[in-house]
Amino acid sequence: MKNTCTGMCRVIGGPVPATGRTTHSHYVYVVKVKGGKVAAMTKIWNSGFALRELGWS
């Protein structure tokens, strides 16, 4: 994932102002399939690293 914070962003804890900084993060999706259909999907990523790169922590 590549993301640049260019506008007000909504995150847990409230909106945060743009920093103009960019993050490059890897992530995976864990998908649970039940009866041939997607029952649940979870995105796993290093959010702490990304938040530091974007200047939010």
Neighbours of 54 (CB within 10 A): 21
Structure pTM?
0.54
Mean pLDDT, to the nearest integer, of 14-29? 85
Q: pLDDT-based confidence at 53, cuts 50/70/90?
A: confident
Q: What angle do CA 44, 50, 51 make, to 5 degrees?
A: 115
Which residues span the domain enclosing 6? 2-54
Mean pLDDT, to the nearest integer, of 24-42? 94
Instruction: Determine the Cα–Cα distance for residues 56 and 49; give it in Å rounded to an integer.
Output: 10
How many domains does the structure of the chain reveal? 1
